[in-house]
A and B are shown apart, each in its own frame.
Chain A
Amino acid sequence: MKKSVSLLVLFMLVAAISIAEAGVVRNNAGCGVGSMIFGDKDGLLFEILATTTNGICGNQTFGMTSGTLGCAPMKGIVSNEKINLYVADNMDNLAKDIAKGNGEYLETLALLMNVPESEKQQFFTKLQSNFNKIYTSNDVTSTEVVKNIEAVLQNS
Chain B
Amino acid sequence: MPFFILLIHFTAISSYHYAYAQQKYPYETIIDISSSTTISKDLFQSINIDQLISIAHTKNLCNTTQWWALLHYKKNIFGIKSLVDDPKFFLAPDGKYNPQSELDATIRYLYSYHEKENPIDRFMARYEWLKKELQTPSPYEVFCKKYQEIVSFKDTIKVNLVFPTGYINSPASMFGHTLLTVQSQYNPGLLSSAINYAANTNETFGPLFAFRGIFGFYKGYFSIMPYYMKVQEYSDLESRDIWEYTLNLNQEEVRFMLFHIWELDNVYSDYYFFDENCSFNLLYLMEVTRPDSHLTNSFFFWVIPIDTIRKVINAGFVESTSFRPSRTTTINYMVLQLNPDQIKVVKSIANHENKALTNLLNSSFTETQKIQILDCASEFIQYRYANKEYTQKEYQDLFINVLKIRSSFPQTLSYTIPDPPRPETGHYSSHIRLQGGIFDKKPYSELVYRPSYHDLCDDPSGFIPGSQIIFGETAIRYDYDNQKLLLQRLELINIESLSPINPLIKPLSWKVITGFDHVPFASNNQTLVYQLNTGSGYTIEVFKWLQIHGMIEFSGLLNNGFKKNIEAGPGVSTGFVLQPFQHFRIRGYIVDTYYLYGKACNFLTMKAIMQYNVSQRYSMRFEVTSWYNEQWYNQFSAALTFYFW
Contact = CB atoms under 8 A, between A and B. Distances in A.
Interface string A11-46: 111111111111111100110000111110111110
A51 B404 contact: no
Contacts of B10: 82, 86, 112
Contact of A24 (B199, B279, B400): B199
B632 interface: no
Contact of A80 (B14, B226, B385): B14
A14 B206 contact: yes
Contact of B228 (A39, A48, A90): A90
Interface stretch (B410-418, B544-552, B567-575, B611-619): B410-418
B218 interface: yes
Contacts of A14: 171, 206, 210, 493
Contact of A99 (B190, B392, B407): B407
B115 to A, nearest CB: 20
A26 B399 contact: no
Contacts of B228: 86, 89-90
A76 interface: no
A125 interface: yes
Interface in A79-121: 79-83, 86, 89-90, 92-93, 95-96, 98-102, 104-105, 107-108, 111-116, 119
B476 to A, nearest CB: 19
Contact of A135 (B204, B206, B207, B400): B400
Contacts, number: 274
B399 to A, nearest CB: 6
Given A61-B396, A95-B403, A131-B404, A17 B2 contact: no
Interface stretch (B15-23, B241-249, B481-489): B15-23
B396 A62 contact: yes
Contacts of A104: 189-190
B224 interface: yes
Given A86-B10, A108-B189, A135-B404, A38 B202 contact: no
A101 B13 contact: no
Interface string B277-291: 111000000000000
Interface in A38-90: 38-39, 41-45, 47-48, 51, 61-66, 79-83, 86, 89-90
Nearest to A24: B199
Given A11-B492, A114-B12, A124-B412, 8 more contacts: A19-B273, A20-B274, A23-B196, A66-B232, A86-B228, A102-B412, A108-B189, A113-B18
9 contacts: A17-B171, A19-B175, A24-B213, A37-B200, A62-B400, A82-B11, A100-B375, A119-B16, A139-B396
